[in-house]
Chains A and B, each alone.
Chain A
Amino acid sequence: MNHRYNMEGMNIELTTCCPLHCPQCYCTLEGGKHIDLEIAKAKIDEAAEHGVYLVQLSGGETLCYPHLFELVSYASDKINTVNVALSGWHFNQEVLKQLIDSNVGGIYVSLNGSTNVINSVTRDGYEYAINALRIMKEAGYKNSFLNWVMHSNNCDDFENIVRLAEDYSVPNVVVLVFKPDSSHQLLSFPSGEQIRRIAQYIKAYRGSVKIMVETCFSQLMAILKDTKLFGNLNLGPTKGCRAGIYNYSINVDGRYSPCRHLDYYEDYESLDAYLEESDIIRQIRNVETHKEEPCVSCGLSDYCKPCLAVNSKLENKISIGNSACDLWNR
């Protein structure tokens, strides 16, 4: 391995097929296309060469992809952790067995509400998700994760989500930040007060579920890691958005982008060439010098690097900023 840039994580968009219609979805689900298996394998080989230790397989609906188990098996031979996100659609005991046999690292089930009413405001497929959790519980599967995207309309339900995870023996709940949807809107982004309340709950929680926060939910991370004893420890590579610097994405056509949520798809002959030559990657490396309001005036500014997809999709530029976030207004 001798590359100028090493990466840590890669996402592959396996398919644009999906039977669900989630209001919050960021994907352009047109045409029902699958990534070519050989292209996906080649990208995994390349990722392994670049030090990638985490591969996330997403869609569309991953269970629509006809080569899912073969690809998981192939990737897990070369990459430390290979995870799959799914809605629960088409999930059954046999699917679970095949994923386990393929050495899947973790199965991430999407659920935004503890009830169908709350979930359906932003997601589809509540019954599918609950069924998948039940199947994994009955099988004693220990590497399940519940992906919960925080919105202004479901944050009061978070305690119930954690309780639901406890009931279904789901060991991990992941709190995801709401990124712009497919129409480039961010209408239900949580308020600062709501983010602080969730942080308080997470800090106080002592139950069996491990509550994780994705790094790009930098606002929440900055509050969680603000300590009275040592000051704010939300610093360095894990403080926020890692797109294009530690992580990258491959879309269904085999093209590179800095992240699933940054729609700058580019063709390069190799990952090396992409990281060396892409103007988008260059802009991302310099993004800390392109900080805009409200982030400039925010007290958390030094400890927060929010999702770059927000300004990319709402303002059409690569810069740090999130006009929907009111944490600056303490």
Chain B
Amino acid sequence: MTEERAKKILEAIEAYDDKEALYAMSPEDATAELNATGNNFTVEEITEAGEGLKAVAQVTSANGEIDLAALEQVSGGANSKSAFWGGVAVGSGIGAGVCFAGAAICACLW
């Protein structure tokens, strides 16, 4: 897959209005939902994007900063699929935004 296509997929997820509802869907339903607005993603592509999101989630601090040095390490090397997706997510500025389903996190110290 090209970087451009991967970026398009992540952008479509990021732009989806009710991310919570999207994340609660099966890969098949989520793909159909994203394709309803003129995309042509496959179920495999959508599923694969999750690998990148997990890699990014593992190296993102509470204020949304991403430890780039650690990204390659947690994603199983520079040539892994999750390193590819993680790199696209970070490079496109989407970063951790797509990872945070549910409530906003809060690094409280109370």
Query: B-contacting residues of A (Cβ < 8 Å)?
Result: 8-11, 53-54, 56, 58, 85, 108, 147, 174-176, 199, 202-203, 210-216, 221, 224-225, 227-231, 233-238, 242, 246-247, 249, 259-260
CB distance from B54 to the nearest CB of A (A): 6
CB distance from B71 to the nearest CB of A (A): 11
The reply on B97 being an interface residue by CB < 8 A is no
Contacts A233-B57, A236-B60 known; A212 to B103 CB distance under 8 Å? yes
Q: List 28 A-B contacts (CB under 8 A).
A: A8-B62, A9-B62, A11-B110, A56-B110, A58-B110, A85-B110, A147-B108, A176-B108, A176-B110, A203-B24, A211-B103, A213-B102, A214-B107, A215-B105, A215-B108, A225-B100, A229-B22, A229-B30, A229-B50, A230-B49, A234-B57, A238-B57, A238-B105, A238-B107, A246-B61, A247-B109, A249-B109, A260-B109
The reply on B35 being an interface residue by CB < 8 A is no
B109 touching A213, Cβ below 8 Å: no
Against A, the Cβ 8 Å flags (1 = close, 0 = not) of B26-65 are 1100100000000000000010011001100111111100
A202 touching B103, Cβ below 8 Å: yes
The reply on B25 being an interface residue by CB < 8 A is yes
Contacts A203-B20, A229-B46 known; A215 to B106 CB distance under 8 Å? yes
| Whole-angstrom CA separation of A109 from B18 in the bound complex | 29
Chain A residues with Cβ under 8 A from B27's Cβ?
229
Contacts A236-B58, A236-B60 known; A242 to B107 CB distance under 8 Å? yes
B24 touching A227, Cβ below 8 Å: yes
CB distance from A297 to the nearest CB of B (A): 23
Restricting to B52-83, which residues have a CB under 8 Å from any CB of A? 53-54, 57-63, 74
